Amino acid sequence: MFIHTAAFEKSSSKVKECPDTTLPEFAFIGRSNVGKSSLINMLMQRKDLAKTSGAPGKTRLINHFKVNESWYLVDLPGYGYAKVSKTDRASFMKMIYDYFEQRENMVNAFVLIDSRHAPLKSDLEFMIWLGEHGIPFSIIMTKLDKLSSSDLKKNKDVYHKKMLLEWDSLPPFFYTSASSRLGREETLQYIEHCMKVYEDAQKE
């Protein structure tokens, strides 16, 4: 997919304040500091479209970015990071759960996972919550530039095995690096595919 335009539209603290639209949207979710905002910038080939930071808890609101005048990317606050205050964590969780429960044009959630770490309870539990609520999701492994290929293979296997203890089949997986742009085409192609399915369903 070619990105012609990508523009910040608005930040919302509640789902009710989000853009009033039926255009399809794709959400980026995961632990604080996993690289959600960096990945959005990488996909859009824009340096500072979404605000990033080395300190977890940078993204504090629901941020909508309109792409090619035809769909949205949504940057969400992160969950489950010990260094984020309890009050912030609770407010981020409410925003996240309300968003996924209420946002009708949300087509696919990308759950971001740091490829360097063993499977974390907070991530696995969040995916189960998505599953229980019938919310389609896929997984994006991030920061591949920080991992050797043998460690990546090992971590991939561990992750797949761990997920198959809970799930009958695996969701789509994408392997990315915001610094090397690895996985950009694959992720954008998948977005294009999901949009086609969404548009066909609207016609029926």
Residues 2-31 interacting with ligand GTP (rule: CB under 6 A): none
From residue 199, alpha-carbon distances to 97, 192, 204 in Å are 25, 11, 9
Q: Is 66 in the site for ligand GTP (CB under 6 A)?
A: no
Q: Is 35 in the site for ligand GTP (CB under 6 A)?
A: yes
Q: Is 38 in the site for ligand GTP (CB under 6 A)?
A: yes
Binding residue (CB under 5 A) for Mg ion from 37, 41, 155, 177: 37
Q: Name the residue nearer to Mg ion (CB basis): 37 or 155.
A: 37
Residues 105-144 interacting with ligand GTP (rule: CB under 6 A): 142-143
Q: Name the residue nearer to ligand GTP (CB basis): 24 or 56.
A: 56
Q: Is 179 in the site for ligand GTP (CB under 6 A)?
A: yes
Provide Rg for the chain, Cα atoms: 16
Query: Who contacts 158 (Cβ-Cβ below 8 Å, separation ≥6)?
Result: 118, 119
Q: Is 33 in the site for ligand GTP (CB under 6 A)?
A: yes
- The answer to whether 153 and 115 are in contact (CB under 8 A) is no
From residue 13, alpha-carbon distances to 10, 62, 83, 99, 159 in Å are 10, 6, 21, 10, 33
- How far apart (Å, rounded) are the C-alpha atoms in residues 44 and 102? 26
| DSSP structural state of residue 59 | -
Q: What is the largest CA-CA distance in the chain?
A: 47
Residues 79-98 interacting with ligand GTP (rule: CB under 6 A): none
Binding residue (CB under 6 A) for ligand GTP from 26, 36, 155, 194: 36
- The footprint of Mg ion (CB under 5 A) covers 36-37, 58-59
